[in-house]
Structure 1
């Protein structure tokens, strides 16, 4: 088996880690002389709960179990219905209710950051450091039109709040984390300002070595990443904001389930935001611009040795980059019993690539553009108060999308591309309507809504497949837009000692975009993208019981089902039934908690079918894991938390998974990658 090599830590990254640590320790020590008189710091997050119908909100800075997240997809797994397509230590691809890719609208500060890798090694949330954001908002299903096209599965927004100052001052927040397998994180969030404006800087560094699974076997999964963002805001009055922001980041990641590793995850971001609040019928005006660039390098020699017996016996590298620019303008109005938000948004994305054999040889090659994508949309969403506790929420949008194929050659043999220079244009409608009812004085409410959206095939569906539908020259020419119509229903109860909620959905997907993997090709498989019709349905439920003072018991259940009605088979990559049970005790100074996660066996599979990242490898076994956490509030601003994940050191793997690479000694037959064994972690949080 090839040796597992480590990349050298650059001095600048070590300097960032040291600076963050030195900044945080004195602040924590200075605050430690206070005495906690209230539960000012929340307990460890293990199960998310809805804040309103179909909407989940949480603070990503809160401690979390399992071990605090290294990327955006990892944090989403606390919300019932979410999981991630796994490939090792970090950068799993988020999945909601078995739906994947551009069916999820993934936004940071309301801008898009799509990755560049044709196989989504750097999916959009791999560039997100959750703890550097203030709020995570998730809307499940096609039940909003405000935040861009598609979003048939849901909308995910990581957001930073505006720091405002009534007088000159500064605020600092941060954390330190250490854990098993060399886990080592630092985060600093500092803002200084006055009534007229502010400056805010967020920075983080996170790393881990290869982990060991429950059998004690090493799983190649090393990663290291850092991010730094700066925002400068002008606030001439309480109703006005103008903010300029800039950010950058980079990282590395070794993948047990891929033939290459990520040796660069360079991110460069610029943003401009304007907000103005009014006090008449026009309530608010918002406008924003952004520019995000991902510059990603994949190779088989920085974090591993080339496998002389594998499909890439020589050193090889691929450098891909994607620049995405966009903007949004929206206005909010309010009259008696009616609220309306309407506006326009637009986005352009340019993708380029270069690759070569030999260490670093790609750097001498020119870039080649392979695709341009563009979307322009108009939207309106309103909320009517019909009577006390009765509301109707509805929205509509229309998008004009286009994609241009700039590949001169395509396929393994680099044959002339029959769609070179061609542009596809599609008009895509979307809309929803939902009724919500709260029964006064009972704590009970329910809702029912239906939504429809049409989704343009994304870069990974148009360009990445080796083949398109039968009779089409390629996927770019043959794949049709995907159309989803879905019914969502649910109910919530909030009482003095009990909170409970349940949601269910049923949908029809016309022209669902499906990948099928066939034997052959240089990499061992070749992919074909086709359209099929599909049916989906499922449910989630959860609740909290507070039987005694300081005690909280909780639980959640999530189930998803899908069928390929064209072929009469199961829809691939559907998440198995999953349940979580938790218990937490918190007396204001000390806290303790436990989490039991149980996942059922998944037998409904479609072998060798899936998406651009993964495919069904066959049935998967069920498993259960148990975790413990505890905390101590040193003061009203400082909290120490600790946890043990996978307490009993179980050897298990997730259903949504990549097969282990032969480069690391995995067998030729597909074998899922095991999850980490027993993991210990300790985290120090400091809040303003």
Structure 2
């Protein structure tokens, strides 16, 4: 296939390097028979029969690809929950569905989410439906996480990284009909699901379909308290592919995903309806008698999200009823050609992406159902277009050293088409009036030219490989940061975007090493990100560029920031059929303009597991843990208040196992949170529905069983 400064920050990096070196040294001190050198001829995947690799199917520095079916534990409620089980990825929740992921201390639109080649953006201003929530994990075959800015080919820059749900090439399967059906149930919340895939392959061409359905009731936390978390989700899709010529491919895919009656303990509303439709037409063409021009890739896609949230369909309303109807429509195209000049591969091309987000909020003081008075044009017709040009080259510097370098320019155009519309009710103001009141800005149409680039070197040292990279990633403000318009009302603060925001400039450095030996493997990386014009959500206190000083309204402004961190992972097959593995990650974030911690930064965390694995069955135990997060931005008087608290640390024990009943039948099961621990992720929202609970807690003890039938 064609495409596959501050002193505190420096101290954090020093601590990162010390911990990394200590753990790597521990691995190097394993018994002598574990120190056999890997073959020097390969710097990619090395097949070691003695080593059981239980999670990543492929690793390449800060990239990781995991087969969906290889992730142990209860069936994930959505892709966000699934991703949070991968090292270095954390998630916060406000209910049972819609886990919002974070990578390297960054979240939301700083992470690119791609579903089978199509970009997806959620339609809820409050992020009830982050992009990963529209992915149906069991409808895909693998998920790839690229941490940090690693390629200019991935579209408009996402400095935290890229998450991509991918489907296997049917040509890799035997000719004829094949597929699988999977079903399972989980005790806590009575989550039950069924999914199916089927494919027919003939001479490399194919047709396939998939479907999934899932339903869950409210679960209980470790203290036996019920957490509003119920939801229903169902959907499916299909794809046809025509193989021709020199393994070229023309494909068309369609997918629909629906979430109904989603309860949220951490929000003032629930979501009775969210629907996502995705379409993609793509061609990968290889020239049969290629010269320097080897081939090209072209695609066009669309993802369309409709979302409804209210405070009366799924709960008893108070004196006021509220509803928001929102849409997020994304359209894009991409054209890239691959050239080969001796040993140098060059990809040249362009992409275009347009995201339109619109949200209208309604309310009624008389508790009328449904409310009909427009209270705000919450997203006032936000249109963000990005046209990018890119070139990326891969070249060998020596027999064991490779260089990757790339540059891209993004031409950004932004409009707020409903900025002058007046909502209903007394004292109503337009979005443009709000922008002028809060920032003295009236111009909503903006244009930017943003230049990003990277250079990366990898080297095979003969027993391990290493990499070092430097990058600049420029991210434009998203629809919420730039344009959300919710006016203050009845003593409550507003929530107002800033059309005058400058784009973020991320300057990242990262380095790391990894090794695979006969019975063990280990990897570690250290990274640093200096951010100019970091877009920070804050409380209006008359800061520079902010004209309001009410101490309650949410605003957005540019600050400078630093982030740094490290991650370490290792696995040791210490005896036949036995292995032990561990991983840990740490992130440091500082708002250097205000000299306070960045909000929503996960604490020091990781996991350790012990597994026994033979041909017919396997069993294991895992402990997931996190330290207390003491660097939190909790104050609404001096900070943003976006961290609910200094979240306590925790340790949770899981049991899991598999049993191959027959060649085509596999049974899985286990117990998650065996000790019924009560805990919450630091990133989770405050529990506004249960005054006895501070945050939305994770599920307590839960037994589960799953069966997979292949054909």
Shared fold (TM-score, shorter chain, > 0.5)? yes
User: Does 2:80 correspond to 1:57?
Assistant: no
Kept in 2, the 8 Å contact 1:600–1:623? The answer is yes
Kept in 2, the 8 Å contact 1:395–1:432? The answer is yes
Question: Whole-Å Cα distance in 1 between the matches of residues 85 and 675 of structure 2?
Answer: 21
How much does 1:196 deviate?
A: 6.8
Report SS of the residue matched to 1:164.
Answer: helix
Distance 1:606 1:630, change over 3 A: same
Give the alignment of 1:302-321 within 5 angstroms.
Answer: 302-306=313-317, 308=318, 313-321=319-327
Question: Whole-Å Cα distance in 1 between the matches of residues 683 and 635 of structure 2?
Answer: 13
How much does 1:421 deviate?
A: 7.5
Question: Whole-Å Cα distance in 1 between the matches of residues 570 and 232 of structure 2?
Answer: 36
**Which of 422, 429, 450 matches 1:415?**
429
Kept in 2, the 8 Å contact 1:572–1:609? The answer is no
Q: Output one character per residue of 1:278-310: Cα deviation in whole Å (capped at 9) or x when no partner.
A: 35333331111111110000011222111x3xx
**Which of 111, 124, 127 matches 2:118?**
111
How much does 1:649 deviate?
A: 0.4
Q: Output one character per residue of 1:138-173: Cα deviation in whole Å (capped at 9) or x when no partner.
A: 111112111111211111111123323898621112
**Which of 582, 586, 604 matches 2:609?**
582
Kept in 1, the 8 Å contact 2:355–2:385? The answer is yes
Partner of 2:512: 490
User: Does 2:696 correspond to 1:673?
Assistant: yes
**Which of 503, 509, 513 matches 2:531?**
509
Kept in 1, the 8 Å contact 2:380–2:484? The answer is no
Per mean C-alpha deviation after superposition, the further-off stretch among 541-550 and 238-247 is 238-247
Partner of 1:101: 108
Kept in 2, the 8 Å contact 1:196–1:237? The answer is no
Q: Output one character per residue of 1:88-120: Cα deviation in whole Å (capped at 9) or x when no partner.
A: 212111101211111111111121110111122
- Structure 2 stretches lacking a partner, 5+ long: 1-47, 436-441, 489-494, 542-547
Kept in 2, the 8 Å contact 1:110–1:147? The answer is no
Partner of 1:623: 650
Question: Whole-Å Cα distance in 1 between the matches of residues 358 and 691 of structure 2?
Answer: 32
Partner of 1:602: 629
Question: Whole-Å Cα distance in 2 between the matches of residues 140 and 209 of structure 1?
Answer: 34
Distance 1:653 1:365, change over 3 A: closer
How much does 1:354 deviate?
A: 3.2
Partner of 1:295: 306
Partner of 1:371: 382
Question: Whole-Å Cα distance in 2 between the matches of residues 526 and 363 of structure 1?
Answer: 22
CA RMSD of superposed structures (Å): 3.0
Kept in 2, the 8 Å contact 1:318–1:362? The answer is no
How much does 1:686 deviate?
A: 2.8
Per mean C-alpha deviation after superposition, the further-off stretch among 196-205 and 94-103 is 196-205
TM-score by structure 1 length? 0.86
Partner of 1:220: 228
Task: Give the number of equivalent residue pairs.
Answer: 628
**Which of 347, 355, 359 matches 2:369?**
359
Question: Whole-Å Cα distance in 2 between the matches of residues 389 and 410 of structure 1?
Answer: 64
User: Does 2:429 correspond to 1:427?
Assistant: no
Question: Whole-Å Cα distance in 2 between the matches of residues 542 and 464 of structure 1?
Answer: 40
Distance 1:167 1:489, change over 3 A: closer
Question: Whole-Å Cα distance in 2 between the matches of residues 487 and 366 of structure 1?
Answer: 42
Kept in 2, the 8 Å contact 1:516–1:528? The answer is yes
Q: Output one character per residue of 1:307-365: Cα deviation in whole Å (capped at 9) or x when no partner.
A: x3xxxx33332111121110111122234321122211101122223343443456999
Question: Whole-Å Cα distance in 1 between the matches of residues 90 and 267 of structure 2?
Answer: 20
Report SS of the residue matched to 1:228.
Answer: strand
How much does 1:506 deviate?
A: 1.0
**Which of 380, 404, 409 matches 1:398?**
409
Partner of 1:72: 79
**Which of 462, 465, 488 matches 1:445?**
465
- Structure 1 stretches lacking a partner, 5+ long: 1-38
Per mean C-alpha deviation after superposition, the further-off stretch among 236-245 and 371-380 is 236-245
Give the alignment of 1:517-596 within 5 angstroms.
Answer: 517=539, 526-596=553-623
Question: Whole-Å Cα distance in 2 between the matches of residues 166 and 653 of structure 1?
Answer: 42
Report SS of the residue matched to 2:480.
Answer: helix
How much does 1:127 deviate?
A: 0.3
Per mean C-alpha deviation after superposition, the further-off stretch among 219-228 and 131-140 is 131-140
Report SS of the residue matched to 2:70.
Answer: coil
Partner of 1:200: 208
**Which of 332, 350, 353 matches 2:338?**
332
How much does 1:659 deviate?
A: 0.8
Question: Whole-Å Cα distance in 2 between the matches of residues 425 and 392 of structure 1?
Answer: 33
Question: Whole-Å Cα distance in 1 between the matches of residues 362 and 539 of structure 2?
Answer: 25
Distance 1:118 1:386, change over 3 A: same
Distance 1:487 1:49, change over 3 A: farther
Kept in 1, the 8 Å contact 2:321–2:370? The answer is no
User: Does 2:194 correspond to 1:186?
Assistant: yes
User: Does 2:281 correspond to 1:269?
Assistant: no
Question: Whole-Å Cα distance in 2 between the matches of residues 336 and 461 of structure 1?
Answer: 46
Partner of 2:96: 89
Partner of 2:256: 248
Per mean C-alpha deviation after superposition, the further-off stretch among 156-165 and 572-581 is 156-165
How much does 1:202 deviate?
A: 1.1
Kept in 2, the 8 Å contact 1:119–1:464? The answer is no
Question: Whole-Å Cα distance in 2 between the matches of residues 395 and 566 of structure 1?
Answer: 31
Report SS of the residue matched to 1:634.
Answer: strand
Partner of 1:26: none
Question: Whole-Å Cα distance in 2 between the matches of residues 216 and 349 of structure 1?
Answer: 42
Kept in 2, the 8 Å contact 1:119–1:460? The answer is no
Report SS of the residue matched to 1:149.
Answer: coil
Question: Whole-Å Cα distance in 1 between the matches of residues 224 and 375 of structure 2?
Answer: 43
Question: Whole-Å Cα distance in 1 between the matches of residues 609 and 341 of structure 2?
Answer: 43
Kept in 2, the 8 Å contact 1:465–1:528? The answer is no
Q: Output one character per residue of 1:168-218: Cα deviation in whole Å (capped at 9) or x when no partner.
A: 621112211111121101111111242273221111111211000111110
How much does 1:525 deviate?
A: 5.1
Kept in 2, the 8 Å contact 1:602–1:622? The answer is yes
Question: Whole-Å Cα distance in 2 between the matches of residues 634 and 44 of structure 1?
Answer: 22
